[in-house]
Amino acid sequence: MPLLVVPGATAARLERLCAREDVPDSVRQAVQAQLMRIPLSGGMPADPALAAVDARVPHTLLVQVAQWAYVRDEPVYMLASLLQGARVVYVDILTQPKELDESLEAIRRAQEESEYERMTAPCVPPRATTLRPARTEAAREEHAAWREARSQIGAMINVVLSMGAVATAVWWGAHGHNTLW
């Protein structure tokens, strides 16, 4: 869930807002319930009085305060001034149940074991296989039909060429070649 980290000055303004009497109870209770001060960390000054302690607030709280300020015409509590210097942080609220973690771990372990078994299993020797497809009866019949067609076409070509050769020999023998030139 995204939260805003507002500077210490903005957090102090929101706390001062709770002390005012003209603030509606709904806004006061929302600020008191949802304003979370961030504890001091190693990156802050050693003197807590010098440290500006930031606070985490949901964006909806700032919108609620800004709506109240808009009606009252108070520019200090307008949304733009409340958001100055704010950073967006995401707080991971959802956690995985232990059953899910255990289930995922069991699945991972089973996959690792099966992979190990596959890697350490003895190799199956390759079988000798032919790359030619096995001839079926239909393929044999088609092959025989093509062989017959080729032999018939070859015979016809031989007959035509033989006839041409005989005609050329007769023409040459009759001295027909001299009449052309």
Over residues 20-36, the pLDDT tens digits come to 888 888 888 888 888 87
Q: Is the pLDDT of residue 123 over 90?
A: no
Q: Which residues contact 90 (CB under 8 A, 6 or more apart)?
A: 1, 2, 3
Is residue 48 over pLDDT 70? no
Antiparallel, parallel or unpaired: β 2-6 and 36-37: unpaired
Task: Indicate the pLDDT class of residue 69, thresholds 50, 70 and 90.
Answer: confident
Query: Can you give the residue ranges of every domain in the chain?
Result: 2-90
User: Can you tell me the distance from the alpha carbon of 82 to that of 60, in angstroms, rounded to the nearest whole number?
Assistant: 12
pLDDT band for position 179 (cuts 50, 70, 90)? low
- What is the pLDDT, as a whole number, of residue 172? 84
In the numeric block, the tokens 């059953």 are attached to 99
- Lowest-pLDDT range of 45-59, 91-105, 113-127: 45-59
Residues making up the chain, counted from first to last: 181
54: confidence class by pLDDT, cuts 50, 70, 90: confident
Place of tokens 């050693």: 46
